[in-house]
A and B are shown apart, each in its own frame.
Chain A
Amino acid sequence: MSHTLDIQNGVVEMSHGSGGRASHTLIRELFASHLDNPYLRQNNDNARFDAPPGSLVMSVDSHVVSPIFFPGGDLGALAVHGTLNDVAMSGAVPLHLTAGFILEEGYPLADLERIVMSMARAAKDAGVEIIAGDTKVVERGHGDGVFITTTGIGVIPPGSARISGDAAQPGDAILISGSMGDHGAAIMLARESMDFDHAIQSDSAALHDLIAHMLRIVPNIHCLRDPTRGGLATTLNELAEQSNVGMVIEESAIPIQPQVAAVCELLGLDPLTLANEGKLIAICPPDQAQTLLKAMRAHPLGENAAIIGEVTEADAGMVQLVTGFGGRRILDWLAGTPLPRIC
Chain B
Amino acid sequence: MKYVDEFRQRDLALKLAEGIRTAAKPDRIYRLMEFCGGHTHAIFRYGVPDLMPDNVRFVHGPGCPVCVLPIGRIDMAVEIAQRHGAILCSYGDMMRVPGGNRISLQRARADGADIRMVHSTQEALKIAQENPTRDVVMFAIGFETTTPPTAVAIKQADAMGLKNFSAFCNHVLTPAAIQAILDAPDIEQDAVAIDGFLGPAHVSSVIGSQPYVALTEKYRRPVVIAGFEPLDVMQSALMLIEQLNAGRFTVENQYTRVVTPEGNRKAQALVAEVMEMRGEFEWRGLGVIPNSALKIRERYAAFDAERRFDLTPSTAQDIKGCACPEILRGRKRPTDCKLFGTVCTPENPMGSCMVSSEGACAAYWSYGRHRSGSSQTTQESAA
Contact = CB atoms under 8 A, between A and B. Distances in A.
B1 A335 contact: no
B93 A340 contact: yes
A267 B119 contact: yes
B319 interface: no
B117 A330 contact: no
A38 interface: no
B142 A318 contact: no
Given A323-B47, A326-B47, A328-B50, A342 B367 contact: no
A204 to B, nearest CB: 24
Contacts of A261: 1
Given A268-B357, A332-B365, A343 B8 contact: no
Interface in A159-194: 192, 194
A158 interface: no
Nearest to A342: B91
B47 A328 contact: yes
B238 interface: no
Contacts of A343: 38, 65, 142-143, 145-146, 202
Given A342-B146, A343-B145, A325 B368 contact: no
B347 A335 contact: yes
B44 A329 contact: yes
B254 to A, nearest CB: 18
Interface size class of A (residues with CB under 8 A): 20 to 34
Contact of B369 (A324, A330, A340): A330
Interface string B46-67: 1111110000000000000110
B237 interface: no
Contacts of B259: none
A339 B8 contact: no
Q: Which of A262, A322, A325 has the most CB of B within 10 A?
A: A325
B358 A265 contact: no
Interface in B185-216: 202
Given A332-B367, A341-B358, A324 B8 contact: yes
B51 A325 contact: yes
A6 to B, nearest CB: 29
Nearest to B363: A329
Interface string A205-246: 000000000000000000000000000000000000000000
Contact of A262 (B1, B96, B141, B362): B1
B357 A339 contact: yes
Given A325-B8, A325-B51, A339 B347 contact: no
Contact of A325 (B10, B96, B356, B367): B10
A336 B96 contact: yes
Interface string B344-383: 0111000000001110001001111110000000000000
B290 interface: no
Interface of B: 1, 4, 8, 10, 13-14, 38, 44-51, 65-66, 91-96, 117, 119, 141-143, 145-146, 202, 230, 345-347, 356-358, 362, 365-370
Given A192-B119, A340-B117, A342-B146, 5 more contacts: A326-B13, A328-B50, A330-B368, A330-B370, A339-B117
24 contacts: A262-B1, A315-B370, A318-B370, A323-B45, A323-B46, A324-B8, A325-B46, A325-B47, A325-B50, A329-B370, A330-B367, A330-B369, A332-B365, A332-B366, A336-B96, A339-B95, A340-B93, A340-B119, A341-B91, A341-B358, A342-B146, A343-B143, A343-B146, A343-B202
